[in-house]
Structure 1
Amino acid sequence: MLLLNKDDIKKVFTMKDAIEADKEAYRIFSEGKAEVPLRTNMASEKNGSMLFMPGYVSELGCAGMKIVSVFPDNAKIGKPVTPATVLLMDDSTGEVVSILDGTYITRVRTGAASGAAVDLLAVENAEIGALIGTGGQAPAQLEAMLAARKLKEVRVYSRNKEKREKFAQEMNEELKSYGAVIKAVESSDEAITDADVILLATTSETPVINGDLVKKGALVSGVGSYMPNMHEIDEKTLKKASKIFFDSKDAVLAEAGCIITPLKKGVISESDFSGDIGEVVMGTKAGRESDDEIIVFKSVGIGVQDVVTAKRIYDKAVEKNIGTEWK
Structure 2
Amino acid sequence: MTLVLNESDIISLFPMEDAIKASDLAFKLQAGTQSVNHPRIRIANKNQFFNYMTASSPELGFYCMKTYSIHKNTSPTFYVYLYDYSNGDLVSIMNASSLGQIRTGAASGIATKYLSKQNSTNLSIIGTGYQAKTQAQAIAAIRPITLIKVYSRSLDNRNRFAKWLEQNLNIECIPVNSPEECIENSDIITTITTSKNPVFKGGQITSGTHINAAGGNHYMRRELDDDTILNSDLITTDDISQARVECGDLINPIDRGLLHWHNIHQLSEIVSGSKIGRRNNNQITLYESQGLAIQDLTAAAHIYSKAIQSKIGTNVDIETYN
TM-score relative to the length of structure 2 = 0.94
Matches within 5 A, 1:1-327: 1-46=2-47, 49-70=49-70, 73-74=73-74, 81-173=75-167, 175-176=168-169, 179-273=170-264, 275-327=265-317
Distance 1:13 1:227 in 2: 27
SS at match of 2:99: helix
* Counterpart residue type for residue 133 of structure 2: P
Distance 1:111 1:50 in 2: 23
SS at match of 1:39: strand
Q: Structure 1, residues 164-199: CA drift from partner, whole Å, max 9, x if none?
A: 1112122322x23xx311221111111111111111
Please report how far the alpha carbon of residue 324 of structure 1 lies from its aligned counterpart in structure 2 after TM superposition: 2.0
Distance 1:38 1:29 in 2: 12
Distance 1:127 1:304 in 2: 30
Please report how far the alpha carbon of residue 72 of structure 1 lies from its aligned counterpart in structure 2 after TM superposition: 7.3
Please report how far the alpha carbon of residue 252 of structure 1 lies from its aligned counterpart in structure 2 after TM superposition: 0.5
Structure 1 stretch displaced more, 26-35 or 145-154: 26-35
* Counterpart residue type for residue 262 of structure 1: P
Please report how far the alpha carbon of residue 30 of structure 1 lies from its aligned counterpart in structure 2 after TM superposition: 1.7
Distance 2:260 2:268 in 1: 21
2:165 and 2:171 in contact (8 A); partners too:
no
2:24 and 2:271 in contact (8 A); partners too:
yes
Classify 1:121/1:72 alpha carbon distance in 2 versus 1 (closer, same or farther; 3 Å). Answer: farther
* Counterpart residue type for residue 8 of structure 2: D
Classify 1:303/1:148 alpha carbon distance in 2 versus 1 (closer, same or farther; 3 Å). Answer: same
* Counterpart residue type for residue 35 of structure 2: A
Distance 1:26 1:90 in 2: 21
SS at match of 2:174: strand
* Counterpart residue type for residue 301 of structure 1: G
Across the two proteins, how many residue pairs are aligned to each other?
A: 316
Question: Kindly, what percent of the aligned residue pairs are identical?
Answer: 31
Partner of residue 78, structure 1: none
Distance 1:100 1:15 in 2: 18
2:80 and 2:93 in contact (8 A); partners too:
yes
Distance 1:200 1:61 in 2: 34
* Counterpart residue type for residue 243 of structure 1: L
CA RMSD, 1 decimal: 1.5
Q: Structure 1, residues 136-155: CA drift from partner, whole Å, max 9, x if none?
A: 11111111111111200111
Please report how far the alpha carbon of residue 271 of structure 1 lies from its aligned counterpart in structure 2 after TM superposition: 4.0
- Structure 1 gap segments, 5+ residues each: 75-80
Q: Structure 1, residues 36-60: CA drift from partner, whole Å, max 9, x if none?
A: 22221012422x5321011111111
SS at match of 1:224: coil
Distance 2:25 2:211 in 1: 21
SS at match of 1:186: coil
Classify 1:156/1:87 alpha carbon distance in 2 versus 1 (closer, same or farther; 3 Å). Answer: same
TM-score relative to the length of structure 1 = 0.93
Please report how far the alpha carbon of residue 71 of structure 1 lies from its aligned counterpart in structure 2 after TM superposition: 5.3
Please report how far the alpha carbon of residue 21 of structure 1 lies from its aligned counterpart in structure 2 after TM superposition: 0.8
2:184 and 2:204 in contact (8 A); partners too:
yes
Distance 1:72 1:221 in 2: 29
Classify 1:217/1:82 alpha carbon distance in 2 versus 1 (closer, same or farther; 3 Å). Answer: farther
Distance 2:76 2:176 in 1: 26
Q: Structure 1, residues 192-238: CA drift from partner, whole Å, max 9, x if none?
A: 11111111111111101211111111111111111111111111111
Distance 2:93 2:250 in 1: 34
Distance 1:248 1:325 in 2: 35
